[in-house]
Chains A and B, each alone.
Chain A
């Protein structure tokens, strides 16, 4: 799952990036409205955290631009301007959620997770596969007997994306776009390596290979 943070305060943006990366998201940061508008419309983000007071171009204009172009990416507005008239305006412009500053990071994480869940094809709060349950908070797999199987960050991100989008052909490019942030070095061979590891964990029938197209995660084992 890949997020865009549009926030002009560098200190806050850095901390948010650290926290959200730690929570298993690929995170890009845009420090002004023009960058944010461009990134949001060119990169396939799963959700955007948008500050309204952006330099260059106000957050609301950025949001309206995206919605006008048919970009339905889930948007959470994170702003210090949290009067109700501003909230109504923001939600009318097409935002999906609104959070006033200052905020508790846990609340932001919960809301981002809710946004991603609602936007994905699978909206269940618990993700299960091959007798395992994915614990999103602790980024590990939990077996039926309660045993834990730790996952690396990339494994977790990849598996979560598979589980939210089961029974779809997912190309390696698409997978790497949603698993890595903009600055990461993307190598589609690396995806192959991680898919192999996930197969070893969950069973090889879990992820099918479609030659020349990509992978399909089989939802029902």
Chain B
């Protein structure tokens, strides 16, 4: 019950139910009382008339029968009167010698009551005792209200049905209003997700914040500022790392050449010492600066568009390894992962570069379709090189391990790969490649999000090809 929508809906439903109940209850009794008051006042009028006629009449019976209208003479019309005057009882003709079980007031008073009448009639009786020296006169006048009762019952039924229908309609309406009224929240959530995935550029965020309702806008604006701040900070860190790297590496390059000079002057031992120290400094700088540049899974900057960016990377690698004539196959879905672009380029670049260095002619990168639930980016890099012997394979990814001193490089690539994988909380494994015969690297990176999201359907994937055109892509993997 933690949904704002459900909470509001429940509260509104309760209010509506109570209101409808009170309305139904209030309207239950109202028509009956209205009818009884109306009929009662007429009966009282008749009773007063009868009393006036009977009071001093020499023949009270005839006087009473005369005074009352024709309705009191039609048998079983429902309009009856009974007059008690001392011992004398005068009944209306319409009563046809039936008796009425009317409770008579003991003192001067008037009262209305309901009694069953002849022929199953339902009678409303008005009884009034008029005071007098001879014990007074009691007049009871009745009218059949059976028809009215039936009408009232019909009215009540309709009323209940009407109220119930109105209630249902109102409940549906409030739900709809709530859903529509809170729709901007859904939009805001979607916008937040896109900001998080790095899909939304700053102007887009501002645009969606502007169209949002005023309650949501401050939140979106704050989030947009935060995202921008985060991106700026990551950019600053990367820029600073780049500057630092530049500032340190150029002097190192100079020193390294000075070491060459020293070596050419015959002091080879000194030169070797200087070179060893320089190499160690370079390795530290390289590794630590790479680590500082990692965005990590917490706050990805620009998101990673798998196919187009991997193809650009493969083209670059083929250029760098032009002499070796290695073909790079990229089998990647055309979609966007909520992982930092630079981190991923660094990860894939180092793995593919390593594979290209060792491969005889083929390198294959494969990101298999993970089906519906993409809570992980899993891929393999295969090459057809010599592979690594078991004892070396366990140590792959250790900084400074160079299994072949003839190969150019600093033995840092796989260590950096290990750093990136660790930063993202993923796993990495090295084994013999079944398909190409060289080394296979298995990497699994968890997505920084929970389950359920839009994914590119499998049929949008194409067969492995060396060069594919880049195009727009959907989001891969899930999102919060």
Residues of A within 8 A of B (CB): 9, 11-12, 15-16, 19, 53, 79-81, 83-85, 87-88, 91-92, 96-98, 100-105, 107, 114, 118
Specify which of A83, A91, A102, A114 lies most central, judged by the most chain B CB atoms within 10 Å of its CB.
A102
Cβ-defined contact, A84 with B350, below 8 A = yes
In the assembled complex, the Cα of A84 lies from the Cα of B316 at a distance in Å of: 9
Cβ-defined contact, B253 with A12, below 8 A = yes
In the assembled complex, the Cα of A102 lies from the Cα of B302 at a distance in Å of: 29
Which of chain B's residues have a CB closer than 8 A to the CB of A98?
Answer: 320
Q: How large is the interface on B (under 10, 10 to 19, 20 to 34, 35 or more residues)?
A: 35 or more
Cβ-defined contact, B319 with A91, below 8 A = yes
Determine which of A12, A19, A92 lies in contact with B312 in the assembled complex, contact meaning CB atoms within 8 Å: A92
Determine which of B257, B322, B348 lies in contact with A105 in the assembled complex, contact meaning CB atoms within 8 Å: B257
Determine which of B316, B341, B345 lies in contact with A91 in the assembled complex, contact meaning CB atoms within 8 Å: B316
Cβ-defined contact, B245 with A19, below 8 A = no
In the assembled complex, the Cα of A81 lies from the Cα of B365 at a distance in Å of: 25
In the assembled complex, the Cα of A81 lies from the Cα of B245 at a distance in Å of: 7
10 A-B pairs within 8 Å (CB atoms) are namely A9-B250, A15-B254, A15-B258, A19-B257, A83-B290, A83-B293, A84-B313, A84-B350, A101-B253, A102-B253
B42 sits at the interface (CB 8 A)? no
Cβ-defined contact, B319 with A15, below 8 A = no
Distance (whole angstroms) from the CB of B104 to the closest CB of chain A:
108
B391 sits at the interface (CB 8 A)? no
CB nearest to B347 among chain A residues: A84
CB nearest to B282 among chain A residues: A102
Cβ-defined contact, A80 with B254, below 8 A = no
8 Å CB contacts to A: which residues of B299-323?
Answer: 312-313, 315-316, 319-320, 322-323
Determine which of B252, B278, B348 lies in contact with A84 in the assembled complex, contact meaning CB atoms within 8 Å: B348
Cβ-defined contact, B250 with A101, below 8 A = yes
B291 sits at the interface (CB 8 A)? no
CB nearest to B350 among chain A residues: A84
CB nearest to A90 among chain B residues: B316
Cβ-defined contact, B346 with A102, below 8 A = no
Distance (whole angstroms) from the CB of B313 to the closest CB of chain A:
6
Cβ-defined contact, B320 with A91, below 8 A = yes
Which of chain B's residues have a CB closer than 8 A to the CB of A96?
Answer: 319
8 Å CB contacts to A: which residues of B244-286?
Answer: 245-258, 260, 278, 282
**In the A-B complex, the 3 residue pairs with the closest CB atoms:** A84-B349, A80-B249, A102-B253
Specify which of B254, B312, B341, B350 lies most central, judged by the most chain A CB atoms within 10 Å of its CB.
B254
In the assembled complex, the Cα of A105 lies from the Cα of B264 at a distance in Å of: 13
Which of chain B's residues have a CB closer than 8 A to the CB of A81?
Answer: 242, 245-246
In the assembled complex, the Cα of A21 lies from the Cα of B342 at a distance in Å of: 38
Which of chain B's residues have a CB closer than 8 A to the CB of A80?
Answer: 242, 245-250
In the assembled complex, the Cα of A81 lies from the Cα of B249 at a distance in Å of: 9
B86 sits at the interface (CB 8 A)? no
Number of A-B contacts (CB under 8 A): 86
Distance (whole angstroms) from the CB of B204 to the closest CB of chain A:
23
Cβ-defined contact, B254 with A88, below 8 A = no
B408 sits at the interface (CB 8 A)? yes
Which of chain A's residues have a CB closer than 8 A to the CB of B323?
Answer: 114
CB nearest to B314 among chain A residues: A88
Which of chain A's residues have a CB closer than 8 A to the CB of B252?
Answer: 101-102
Which of chain B's residues have a CB closer than 8 A to the CB of A83?
Answer: 242, 290, 293, 342, 345-346
Specify which of A53, A85, A105, A118 lies most central, judged by the most chain B CB atoms within 10 Å of its CB.
A85
In the assembled complex, the Cα of A81 lies from the Cα of B286 at a distance in Å of: 10
Which of chain A's residues have a CB closer than 8 A to the CB of B254?
Answer: 9, 11-12, 15
Contacts known (A85-B346, A91-B315); A15 close to B250, Cβ less than 8 A: no
Which of chain A's residues have a CB closer than 8 A to the CB of B255?
Answer: 102
Contacts known (A87-B316, A91-B319); A102 close to B249, Cβ less than 8 A: yes
Distance (whole angstroms) from the CB of A42 to the closest CB of chain B:
27
Specify which of A11, A88, A97, A98 lies most central, judged by the most chain B CB atoms within 10 Å of its CB.
A88
Which of chain B's residues have a CB closer than 8 A to the CB of A100?
Answer: 249
Distance (whole angstroms) from the CB of A199 to the closest CB of chain B:
34
Distance (whole angstroms) from the CB of A32 to the closest CB of chain B:
15
CB nearest to B256 among chain A residues: A102
Cβ-defined contact, B320 with A97, below 8 A = yes
Distance (whole angstroms) from the CB of B258 to the closest CB of chain A:
8
In the assembled complex, the Cα of A9 lies from the Cα of B290 at a distance in Å of: 23
Which of chain B's residues have a CB closer than 8 A to the CB of A84?
Answer: 313, 345-346, 348-350, 353
Distance (whole angstroms) from the CB of A49 to the closest CB of chain B:
12
Distance (whole angstroms) from the CB of B203 to the closest CB of chain A:
23
In the assembled complex, the Cα of A12 lies from the Cα of B85 at a distance in Å of: 140
Given contacts A84-B349, A102-B278, A107-B408, 11 further A-B contacts (CB under 8 A): A15-B254, A80-B245, A80-B247, A80-B248, A84-B350, A87-B349, A88-B316, A92-B312, A96-B319, A105-B256, A105-B257
Distance (whole angstroms) from the CB of B327 to the closest CB of chain A:
17
Which of chain A's residues have a CB closer than 8 A to the CB of B253?
Answer: 12, 101-103
Distance (whole angstroms) from the CB of B341 to the closest CB of chain A:
7
Cβ-defined contact, B250 with A12, below 8 A = yes
Which of chain A's residues have a CB closer than 8 A to the CB of B312?
Answer: 88, 92
Distance (whole angstroms) from the CB of A101 to the closest CB of chain B:
4
Cβ-defined contact, A101 with B319, below 8 A = no
In the assembled complex, the Cα of A102 lies from the Cα of B258 at a distance in Å of: 12
Specify which of A19, A80, A92, A96 lies most central, judged by the most chain B CB atoms within 10 Å of its CB.
A80
CB nearest to A52 among chain B residues: B246
Distance (whole angstroms) from the CB of A29 to the closest CB of chain B:
14
